[in-house]
């Protein structure tokens, strides 16, 4: 399925796409309709090389539910798929899989796109990765400092 044919769902982001983080400004700033604190149950967070990985598991991840205008969804999906190295459903070259998962916003379920580590990577993380206790990238002391906005 091409991004143009994908449903215009919000995005659950948990790492460098969260507001104030490295890729938020490049991909999302000025394109969002709403940004709300959210939780993703049934997932665990692991440290990566400057960004986190989420995998399916018995935990909860803290993040942000990002809504964009439906007309912007196809272009944004394509850009985020490239960033997250997502080639397509079940593709062996995927770093992440883009999945529809249920996020909780103010205790209410909302279907959203999210990127979870592809199965090969998830197995490696379980075998020897570094879990992020509490599932919140913003509280992880080893994460890179967010960029300092430049003033004109």
**Which residues are known to be catalytic?**
84
* Largest separation between any pair of C-alpha atoms in the chain: 46
Name which of 45, 47, 49 is nearest 58 in CA terms.
Answer: 45
**Quick check: 65 and 36 in contact, CB under 8 A?**
yes
Beta strands 52-68 and 11-13: pairing type? antiparallel
Cα gap 138→132, rounded to integer Å: 10
Cα gap 17→36, rounded to integer Å: 13
Phi, psi of 140, rounded to the nearest 5 degrees: -75, 115
Q: For the chain, how are helix, strand and coil distributed in percent, rounded to 5?
A: 25, 40, 35
């Amino acid at each position: 399925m091409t991004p143009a044919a994908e449903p215009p769902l919000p995005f659950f982001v948990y790492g460098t796409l969260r507001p104030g983080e490295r890729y938020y400004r490049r991909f999302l700033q000025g394109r969002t309709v709403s940004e709300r604190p959210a939780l993703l149950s049934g997932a665990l967070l692991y440290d990566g090389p400057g960004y986190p990985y989420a995998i399916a598991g018995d935990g909860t991840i803290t993040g942000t539910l990002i809504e964009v205008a439906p007309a912007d969804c196809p272009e944004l999906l394509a850009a985020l798929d490239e960033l997250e190295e997502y080639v397509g459903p079940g593709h062996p070259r995927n770093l992440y899989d883009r999945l529809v998962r249920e996020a909780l916003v103010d205790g209410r379920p909302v279907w959203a796109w999210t990127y979870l580590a592809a199965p090969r990577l998830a197995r490696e993380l379980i075998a020897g990765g570094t879990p992020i206790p509490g599932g919140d990238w913003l509280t992880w002391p080893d994460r890179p400092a967010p960029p300092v906005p430049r003033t004109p």
